[in-house]
Amino acid sequence: MENENQLKKSTSFLIIPIVYVIAIWVIYWIEINFDFNFNKFGVYPRTFVGFRGVFLTHFIHSNTNHLFNNSIPLFVLLSSLFYFYKKVAYKVLLIGGFLTGLLTWVMARESFHIGASGIVYLLFSFVFFSGIIKKHYRLVALSLIIIFLYGSLIWYVLPIKDGMSWEGHLSGFLTGFILSIIYRKKGIVKEQHHFQETDFDLLFDENGNFSPPKVEEREEEEF
């Protein structure tokens, strides 16, 4: 019953995905129309100035293609997070976003790393592994859908394409996996079956032998 209550129909789970996607498009529009270059606000590993990118990188994109490629999976995965994992959704997004940026800052190559793809990999990893770990049928089904839609993303945690921040992808993927373990007992979980004794069970003793209760015969009294 508690699980069902957590999945009540509501459109509120779309608020954050819509706001996030609109925000990254508005930021890119400002950058293009006012001839700004926000790339310098991305993560630049192991420098004090570059540390600000840990907080800002997820809102900055290099071009329209980069932005568009992140927008659709970002919306789908954020919607999945806030619908199925709403009890921990903000923690996953905020803490996970910070840890993804921080891990990128620690281990990445000396270059500016920008884009919301770190968040995409964070969400992809968290939603997929959470469903597998929790073993709830709806969450497992969601995991299978996610791997079907975005399973090819896994290859880009490796340095197989020039100009792509595979370190940011790997950071998000690892962070999502860790958070799925930490929050495995939060929100929707697999319901355990509880045995409830019935009248039929009373017909057997503790060893499983048929032993119906004895009915005492009462003598009829004449008045």
- Look at residue 58 in the predicted model and tell me its pLDDT: 96
**CA atoms 150, 176, 78, 134: torsion sign:** positive
Tokens of 153: 């993303």
Q: Which residue has the higher pLDDT, 70 or 209?
A: 70
Long-range pairs of 153-162 with CB within 8 A, sequence gap ≥ 24: 153/73, 153/120, 153/121, 153/124, 157/121
Please name which of 166, 12, 17, 170 lies closest in space to residue 79, comparing C-alpha atoms.
Answer: 17
> From CA 49, how far away is CA 94, in angstroms rounded?
21
**What digits encode the pLDDT tens for the residues 28-41?**
999 999 999 999 99
The one-letter amino acid code at 127 reads V
The one-letter amino acid code at 171 reads S
Please name which of 129, 127, 126 lies closest in space to residue 99, comparing C-alpha atoms.
Answer: 126
The region of weakest confidence among 72-76, 129-133, 205-209 is 205-209
Task: Count how many Cα atoms sit within 13 Å of the Cα of residue 22 in the half-sphere of its side chain.
Answer: 6
DSSP 6-53: HT---SGGGHHHHHHHHHHHHHHHHHHHTT--GGGGSB-TT-TGGGGH
pTM assigned to the model: 0.81
- Look at residue 76 in the predicted model and tell me its pLDDT: 95
Partners of 43 in beta bridges: 113
Tokens of 77: 């995965």
**What digits encode the pLDDT tens for the residues 101-151?**
999 999 999 999 999 999 999 999 999 999 999 888 888 888 888 888 888
**What digits encode the pLDDT tens for the residues 166-205?**
999 999 999 999 999 999 988 776 555 444 556 555 655 6
- Look at residue 2 in the predicted model and tell me its pLDDT: 47
Residue 216 scores a pLDDT above 70: no
